[in-house]
Amino acid sequence: MNPIRKQRVYALVAILLGVSVAIFLVLNGLKQNLNLFYTPTQVIKENLLEVNKLARVGGMVKDNSFTEHTNSLMKSFEITDFNESIVVVYKGILPDLFSEGSGVVVQGMLTEEGSFEASEVLAKHDENYMPPEVAKTLKYK
C-alpha cells in the first residue's frame, strides 16, 4: 500500500475508534435509562421507584394471580421476575396476548401501599413460534 493510502486507513481507523469509544461512554452512562422497564426486584429490593412517579415495570404474570371484577373493568394480577413479585391494579382492556405465565410491561405509578397502579398494559411476546399441534404436544396452553 502506498503511503498516502496508508495514511487514509490510519485516519479512518482513528475516527472509527474515536466514535466507538464515545458511543460506548454514552451508552455506559445511560445504562439504566436505556432499559424500557424496571424488574420487580429493582422495585421492591432496590427501591429504585419513587411513589407516584410514572414508570414502567415488566416481568411474567404470576400463575393463578389474575382476578377480575365482575361488573367493572378493574383487574389485578401479580408480576414476577421469579425473585420478587408486585401486585398490579389496572382498569381497562388487556391486549390479546395477555395471559398468566407470559410477559407483560405495565406503565403506571407505584402507590404508597406498595402496589402498582397501571394506566397501560403491553404484552411482551417471546421469541418462540410453533404450530398449534406442536404446542399441544409440548403442553403449552
Partner 1 sequence: MGSSPSIFRFISTIFPWLFFFSILFLMGSLFWGLFLAPTDYKQGDAYRIIFIHVPSAILGQSGYIFMAVFGFICLVWRVKVAGMIVRSIAPVGASFTLLALVSGSIWGKPTWGTWWVWDARLTSTLILFFLYIAIISLFSVIESKQKADRAGSILALVGVAIIPIIKKSVDWWQTLHQSSTFSLSSSPSMTADMYLPLLSCVLAFYLIFLVIVLSRMKLEIVQRERSTNWVKDFYS
Q: Which residues bind partner 1 (CB under 8 A)?
A: 5, 8-9, 12, 15-16, 19-20, 23, 27, 34-37, 39, 58, 94-97, 105, 120-136, 140
Residue 113 or 131 with smaller CB distance to partner 1 = 131
Between the alpha carbon of residue 108 and those of residues 50, 61, 71, the distances in Å are: 12, 16, 23
- Shortest distance, position 113 Cβ to partner 1, whole Å: 25
Residue 29 or 70 with smaller CB distance to partner 1 = 29
- Shortest distance, position 23 Cβ to partner 1, whole Å: 5
Cα(85)–Cα(116) distance, integer angstroms = 11
Cα(66)–Cα(77) distance, integer angstroms = 4
The single residue listed with the C-alpha cell 405465565 is 101
Residue 38 DSSP symbol: B
Residue 29 or 95 with smaller CB distance to partner 1 = 95
Residue 23 or 51 with smaller CB distance to partner 1 = 23
- Shortest distance, position 46 Cβ to partner 1, whole Å: 14
Sign of CA dihedral 21, 22, 23, 26: positive
